[in-house]
Copies of this chain bind each other. A is one copy, B any other.
Amino acid sequence: MSNQTKQSVSNSNKKDREPNNFSFTITKQSTDNQARLGIIHTPHGDIHTPAFIPVATKATIKSLTPQQINDMGFDSILSNTYHLYLQPGPDIIEKGGKIQKFMAWHKPMFTDSGGFQVFSLSGKLCTISDTHVTFRSHIDQSTHVLTPEKSMQIQRQLGADLIFAFDQCLDINADYPTTQASLKRTHNWETRSVLEFNKINIDNSQALYGIVQGGRFTELREESAKFVTTLNTFGIGIGSIFGDPKEESVKLVTHALKHLPEHKPKHLLGIGSVDDIFYYVPLGIDTFDCVLPTRLARIGHIFTRPESGGNVENKFRIKITNAKYKEDQTPLDPACTCYTCTHFTKSYIHHLEKSKELLFYTLATIHNLSFFKRLMDEIQQSIQNDSFKILRQKWIDQTEEKIEENKEHNSKI
């Protein structure tokens, strides 16, 4: 009996349609809301959900070694197909033994489909037809063609465990007719993605996520959710959710999730901030990827926990470049237990940033990612203990109440 067969047999929750090497087990369903604890089983190990998936755009989380990422306890990371396609190219990564071997990260990995970057980075240099997308490289302006089939082939060469169908990512403010036309194309592309994926995934070494689109129209989100449910994919992503206005985004995700099968893992693409995570976990989102903690780290925005003054109003952040930290002998976040906070002061990290020292990027990134890892650990714990509401109260509601109180107070003065 092969290892693969053993693994799938040992998982009692295995669904018929799932590839042999992959399964998603829901280990606890919250009674208060749709939040759940789960495990995504992959050939490279398990992902405990709800999880935050750090972004390793070009096969590296900027400034960190895989050892440092592993030390923080992350189960999984996500790389960008568009970037890797252009540099170093999928052939190089395939020859290097596929992405995990190439970058020495031996745990589960995601790649996105390239769709988002094609549209966001190529901008006006990108032309779309129903059959394909033509775009210019943001690196050397060379012209490239991408199709759903090609996205699948590239992601096959890259070799991540969990990959995404090729979709058209649309401006969230597009009007109804534009969004409707785009959605029709996306659904067609997703069908083509599944066909190509089934053809080339001969060893079941990868699993596919479909993607729900539909812009800012709940009706189209519903249509998309229903369509994606018909596809034989392992998981489902929700795309083009851009955070603000928060109420509208939450409504769109809520609506999409209502029409998606409970047993599949759900990924919210490109999200999230701290409050995003507290909004979407109770709706049933299992995984999030976002460049926020890593990108913000590199410009000096440091996440801080509620115990240290982090709240919705300050977006749980301080700006370490602020002169007031020049002589501050406390850690970035006194309540944090990461490598950075147990070894260095704000004063030192302020100095590194002002000196544009490379170590600044490393230490700030370690801290910000550790912040999100611990947040997800606490969220998992709270789902386990049926105390999610209490955790949310500590992180989110208290601040919102305070903001309301202040508003009232100020209006009375």
5 cross-chain pairs, A with B, having the tightest CB-CB distances, nearest first: A63-B358, A88-B351, A104-B343, A60-B359, A58-B355
A347 adjacent to B92 (CB under 8 Å): yes
Once A87-B351, A88-B354, A357-B60 are accepted as A-B contacts, the answer to whether A329 and B65 lie under 8 Å apart by CB is: no
Residue of B nearest to A355 (CB): B58
Taking a contact as CB atoms under 8 Å apart, the answer to whether B65 and A362 are in contact is: yes
With A95-B347, A326-B92, A347-B96 as known contacts, state yes or no: A62 contacts B359, CB within 8 Å.
yes
Which residues of B lie under 8 Å from residue A92 when comparing CB positions?
326-327, 347, 351
Q: Which residues on B sit within 8 Å (CB–CB) of A63?
A: 358-359, 362
Within 8 A of B (CB), among A66-102: 66-67, 87-88, 92, 95-97, 102
Number of interface residues of A (CB under 8 A): 39
Assess whether A348 is interfacial by the CB under 8 Å rule: yes
User: Chain B nearest CB: distance from A140 CB in Å?
Assistant: 12
Q: What chain B residues lie within 8 Å of A344 (beta carbons)?
A: 103-104
A182 interfacial contact with B, CB 8 Å: no
Q: How far is the CB of A234 from chain B (nearest CB, A)?
A: 28
Asked if A65 meets B339 with Cβ closer than 8 Å, knowing A60-B352, A92-B327, A352-B60, the reply is yes
Q: Is A121 an interface residue (CB 8 A)?
A: no
Asked if A345 is an interface residue, CB under 8 A from chain B, the answer is yes
A363 at the interface (CB under 8 A from B): yes
CB distance from A359 to the nearest CB of B (A): 5
Q: How far is the CA of A58 from the CA of B21 in the complex (A)?
A: 50
Whether the Cβ atoms of A103 and B348 lie closer than 8 Å is yes
Instruction: Please tell me if the beta carbons of B359 and A65 are within 8 angstroms of each other in the complex.
Output: yes
Instruction: Determine the distance from Cα of A95 to Cα of B346 in the docked complex, in whole angstroms.
Output: 12
- Known: A59-B348, A64-B359, A103-B348; 18 extra A-B contacts, CB below 8 A, are A58-B352, A58-B355, A63-B358, A63-B359, A65-B339, A65-B359, A67-B343, A87-B351, A87-B355, A88-B326, A88-B350, A88-B351, A92-B351, A102-B345, A102-B348, A104-B343, A104-B348, A358-B361
Asked if A65 and B363 make an inter-chain contact with CB atoms under 8 angstroms apart, the answer reads yes
Question: A104's closest neighbor in chain B, by CB?
Answer: B343
The answer to whether B357 touches A58, judged by C-beta atoms less than 8 angstroms apart, is yes
In the complex formed, the residue of B with least CB distance to A60 is: B359
Min CB distance A80 to B, Å, is 12
Digitize A301-340: 1 where CB-to-B-CB distance is under 8 Å, 0 elsewhere. 0000000000000000000000000110100000000010
